[in-house]
Structure 1
Amino acid sequence: MSDIKPTPAGFDFLGFAGKKYLVMGVANRKSVAWAIASLIEQAGGEVIYTVRSESRRDSTAKLLSGRRVIVCDVEDQSQIDALAITLADENVVLAGFVHAIAFADYSDGMRPFHETTRTQFLQAIDISAFSLTAVCHALKDCFTRDASVVTIGISTTRMASESYGYMAPIKAALESSLAFLTKSFSRFSEMRFNSVSAGLLKTSASAGIPGYVDSYLFAEKVIPRGRAVQTGEVAATAAFLLSSRSSGIAAQSLVVDAGMSINYFDADIVGAVTAAAVD
């Protein structure tokens, strides 16, 4: 017989009730950050939101009505410092932090990787990768000893996808930093840093990437179940990583791609490609 006893009705499995979490990256209802924050709130946790600008605060005003929203542009260190001061002054204690922000300048369209400019690359790595370290360092005194930090990666940083431009190397840097943050924070805490490495998602941000929609449709063909990864599936994994239920998982990137990476050589897909080549 199983040693696992049934949980009573209303049992707080994730342990979010009464705890506070910081969520960065909500832009609209389709945002991964919003899906994660919603799960936290549904489980009784309190979420403090940050948005990058006053205009973004205005555009999310209806969605985030009645919630605490702070403007923090992570490109500006003074705003990160101000966020830390604000939370410290209010004696905010954070049980977790969701880093779901990324940016790449594709205003000139998608170009070969070797044509990426220094300005584009450095801006993208500052916002999408280094900001995780910068924010965690600034807020280090606001976290509980066993706080959990979760960021959003991609299912593979080794795939030279032309539809994702130069962001894969940026995400590789983000995911690599998890080990170093876990190690350095272990000097004074038991904090954990993990990533949900998501497959292709249908979000407003991804829709703006040149060529992304075609790759998304292709992913649906490759995934064994025939359906793309849903934002809610990524959010549920993130919620698990934020909770004490995942206390033994640290410095890891959990791939959520619905099995896409095992199925690139599906017979039907290979047949369709070879038939097209013959034609």
Structure 2
Amino acid sequence: MSFLNLEEKTFVVLGVANKKSVAWGIASGLEQEGAKVIYIVRSEKRKEELSARLLKDREIIICDVEYQEQIDAAAEQIKTLAPNGLDGFVHSIAFANYSEGLQPFHSTVRKDFLQAVDISCFSLLAMTKALKEQFNEDAAIVTVSISTTRMASENYGYMGPVKAALDSSVAFLAKSLSEDTNIRVNAVGASLLKTSASAGIPNYINSYLFAEKVIPRKKALQTKEAADTALFLLSPRSSGINAQTIVVDAGMSINYFDRDVINDCMR
């Protein structure tokens, strides 16, 4: 038996896009620990791409979380694939549609903001509700957030407030589920990562390189480090942790006033 005690448990992972995804880091870690993983992806195209390469011979369900009927259908499919119930759920999706390009926050387009909240935040509630009766005793839910929602980075746009809503939802969802279950809900608050999704953020590479300067070890957070934290939160070893966003930033938040960074700026 491994330290995490995940053998023969069953988990649903939502959000694998490619091998750089945090969701894949979590899912592959679960498989290595001997757990069964049921994958949820957004489209038939994504399923075909992943089935041909990364997720060959895995159980893959299609579900666009913007549509309640697809969420309900996915839950029914999962019921047949997990007859012994679910031990956990990983929510690792986020979406921002800057239909008019990146705008100052006060010029955010309503439909873009609401769509981002729906996909990136409300989907956690919707999926949890749909799967609730399938969760086993002491199941764990983990979502992927960011290390701080108070750092108003212009290039991150309205996704900062959306992630703040996600963090708050973690606490409220944990409290709500506690009325009749022992399901725990937590988030991994990761700092800047080198993923395909982050590559779509304007000027992200400059922010990533700055993070490497500020992090005490002078090396950015690795996707596996965020994924490993999620594995711990999914395991019985973290049974005392609930309604928390665990910041995983390699110490970046303590070092914004690093003397070398200050000296470089003042030159």
Indicate which of 174, 184, 187 corresponds to 2:176: 184
Shift of 1:89: 4.1
Q: Give the structure 1 partner of residue 216 of structure 2.
A: 224
Structure-to-structure mapping, 1:65-84, within 5 angstroms: 65-84=56-75
Please state if 1:196 is matched with 2:185.
no
Indicate which of 65, 77, 86 corresponds to 1:94: 86
Q: Give the structure 2 partner of residue 51 of structure 1.
A: 41
Q: Give the structure 2 partner of residue 5 of structure 1.
A: none
Instruction: Specify the structure having the higher radius of gyration (Cα).
Output: 1
Shift of 1:12: 1.6
The CA distance in 2 between the partners of 1:96 and 1:266, in whole Å, is 39
The CA distance in 1 between the partners of 2:117 and 2:262, in whole Å, is 36
Per the normalisation by structure 2, the TM-score is 0.97
1:161-209 deviations in Å (ceiling 9; x for gaps):
1121110100000010111111111111100000000000000010011
Count of equivalent residues: 265
Please state if 1:215 is matched with 2:207.
yes
4+ long deviations beyond 6 Å:
none
**Aligned AA for 2:3?**
F
Please state if 1:146 is matched with 2:122.
no
Q: Which runs of 5+ in 1 are unaligned?
A: 1-10
Contact persistence 1:219–1:260 (CA under 8 A): yes
Contact persistence 1:109–1:210 (CA under 8 A): no
Shift of 1:92: 5.0
The CA distance in 1 between the partners of 2:196 and 2:79, in whole Å, is 33
Contact persistence 2:99–2:112 (CA under 8 A): no
Q: Which runs of 5+ in 2 are unaligned?
A: none
Q: Give the structure 2 partner of residue 170 of structure 1.
A: 162
1:218-245 deviations in Å (ceiling 9; x for gaps):
1000101000000000000000000000
Indicate which of 4, 8, 11 corresponds to 1:18: 8
Indicate which of 32, 41, 56 corresponds to 2:31: 41
Q: Give the structure 1 partner of residue 102 of structure 2.
A: 110
Indicate which of 244, 256, 259 corresponds to 1:264: 256
Q: Give the structure 2 partner of residue 64 of structure 1.
A: 55
RMSD: 1.0
Shift of 1:274: 1.4
Per the normalisation by structure 1, the TM-score is 0.93
Identity %: 61
SS at match of 2:132: coil
